[in-house]
Amino acid sequence: MAYPLIIFGAGASYDFSHIGKAGDVAPLTKNLADEKFHHTDLIGKYEGVGSLLSDIIHQVKNGKNFEDVLSDKSNRAQGSTQLLANLSALYFYLETLFERISTPNDLNRRIHLANNYHIILDRIHEHAEGKALVATFNYDTLFENSLPRGSAPNSMQDYISGGIKIIKLHGSHDWSYVQPVSTEDLQYAKDGFEL
């Protein structure tokens, strides 16, 4: 039997649960400008996010696309150390926001236990012998957290091993890229100098 291909478009997690207000669980990209997804403790944690988000929200509310505004700011950041620092802070803010959305807690545990991903997983087991290729544009890990206990990926290899293979086209909030450093940089770090 061939693997079915299941594609989750960016923001598929917005309709994550049939319980309660699904729209409160995770935002579509355009909804990142909505007040209910502004976590003031996170905005305060990452210096520069507040001013950058204020400008992005203003532009989104005036009809621009969130991703287009972010791309424009990224392009202009090459000439501005401050804008580059603010963008870096925004990326950390978004990473932490999606981690918070993805992690079951007292407020959203019920939604994590009963959601539409469980229905899809049941269909995969019922109709495809538990095998599927899932391509997702979502940065959260809501789908991975819905896999049966012990099946959620713990390493990059885990995403493509097993019956359900997961390809995350935009990456994931819990992935990071470590820039290789030269032996000279390592020596400076070892000697106590800042890189």
Looking at residue 19, what is its pLDDT?
Answer: 67
The type of residue at 15 is D
Q: How confident is the model at residue 124 (pLDDT cuts 50, 70, 90)?
A: very high
Residue 37 half-sphere exposure toward CB, CA atoms < 13 A: 22
Cβ-based neighbour number of residue 135 at 10 Å: 14
Q: DSSP 3-state assignment of 173?
A: coil
pLDDT above 60 (res 195): no
**Tokens representing 3?**
């693997």
pLDDT at 24: 60
Quick one: pLDDT band at residue 188, thresholds 50, 70, 90?
low
What average pLDDT does the structure give for the chain? 83
Question: What is the residue extent of each domain of the chain?
Answer: 1-22+113-195, 26-102
Write down the number of H helices and E strands in the chain: 8, 3
pLDDT in tens, 7-56: 998 777 777 776 655 556 676 776 777 777 788 888 889 998 888 888 98
Torsion sign (Cα): 145, 147, 152, 156 = negative
Burial of 115 (0-12, 13-18, 19+ CB in 10 A): buried
Residue pair 152/144 in contact (Cβ under 8 Å)? The answer is: yes
Angle at CA of residue 26, ends 51 and 70, nearest 5°: 35
60 versus 192: the higher-pLDDT residue is 60
To 5 degrees, how large is the angle CA 64–CA 15–CA 1? 115
Tell me: the pLDDT tens digits for 132-158?
A: 999 999 889 999 999 988 888 988 899
